A and B are shown apart, each in its own frame.
Chain A
């Protein structure tokens, strides 16, 4: 059909020839492939704004770390390396299970799709549990700026780092470290909570039979979001936990 015929037909009937097509295909797309490509493009544009958003936090972290270096090192020493490592492992495995969920949607296997989605939800919740444990620990240690902060823990050295004896003014500056720590891990955790919630909705829809009839876009784009949140953590982990271990 050339453009003249199409124009004539559109003028005649008010819409383009309405042949058989899958129910999820919107009329302004030429086909499922194009619809999926467009959705992926849009999702990436959204993720780029997210990169800029988290990038700003990373940037201020780098600058303040140079500024109040001893405070940032001492602050980092107070985190549990095992908890950060465990959470990194959990998130990477959850990225794998999410990738498998996308694969199950593409190959149209309902049971596998539901299974991998449930696995991803469980791993996401496990990550949040470990994070909540760490936050609770920081609360107990009086490391929460603005709520219950005390520089006492950074004045006399700790069990693992006896040399962490900061002067009082620098010990106060660990609040900058913890402010950024809570801002970054908090925003990341918020993204995880949003992710788990969205995935639960998608799971209910998948349970009712959606996303295994060729309609992959919502699952695929959620996967992109989930992997992005994983990438943010891949950078948070070394910056917050690792790079100051031996300073």
Chain B
């Protein structure tokens, strides 16, 4: 028991010359070529979303297409420009948890808004 604790302790100490931490993360320099490709892709998607808005699509499809393209663009920015693809598990988990919480809040609010008047008409 004591021995276990000792080992556990040592692993989590951040010593200047000590053993490398379990969460140690080597920074990754993203190449300019990837930035260029992502930037160009984002511009293409911008063109696509403007073009799609000029076409009269049935029902709410215009909104669905525009927001779907916005989500794709956001994902590209987050993964590549913001380095999340190359980040540590901690950063990935933080970002994912944040977006998850945000989606829960939006969904709950919208669910309440849509259903509040149910049964009253």
Contact = CB atoms under 8 A, between A and B. Distances in A.
A205 to B, nearest CB: 21
B73 A31 contact: no
A82 to B, nearest CB: 9
Contacts of A81: 50, 53
A73 B49 CA distance: 18
Given A81-B50, A223-B81, A96 B99 contact: no
B117 interface: no
Given A81-B50, A92-B46, A235-B70, A227 B110 contact: no
B18 A1 contact: yes
A235 to B, nearest CB: 5
B98 A33 contact: no
A40 B49 contact: no
B16 A92 contact: no
B26 A234 contact: no
SS of A interface (majority): helix
A223 B84 CA distance: 13
Among B15, B31, B55, B80, max chain A CB count under 10 A is at B15
Contacts of B55: 246
A103 B53 CA distance: 35
B119 interface: no
Contact of B50 (A17, A66, A242, A247): A242
Interface in B32-74: 32, 35-36, 38-39, 42-43, 46, 49-50, 52-57, 62-63, 66-67, 69-70, 73-74
A243 B67 contact: yes
Contact of A243 (B15, B24, B63): B63
A59 B39 contact: no
Interface of B: 9-10, 13-18, 21, 23-27, 29-32, 35-36, 38-39, 42-43, 46, 49-50, 52-57, 62-63, 66-67, 69-70, 73-74, 77-78, 80-83, 87-88, 90-91, 94-95, 98-99, 101-102, 105-106, 109-110, 113
Given A1-B17, A34-B24, A81-B53, 5 more contacts: A1-B18, A31-B16, A33-B24, A237-B70, A242-B52
6 contacts: A45-B94, A52-B102, A92-B43, A96-B35, A234-B74, A246-B55
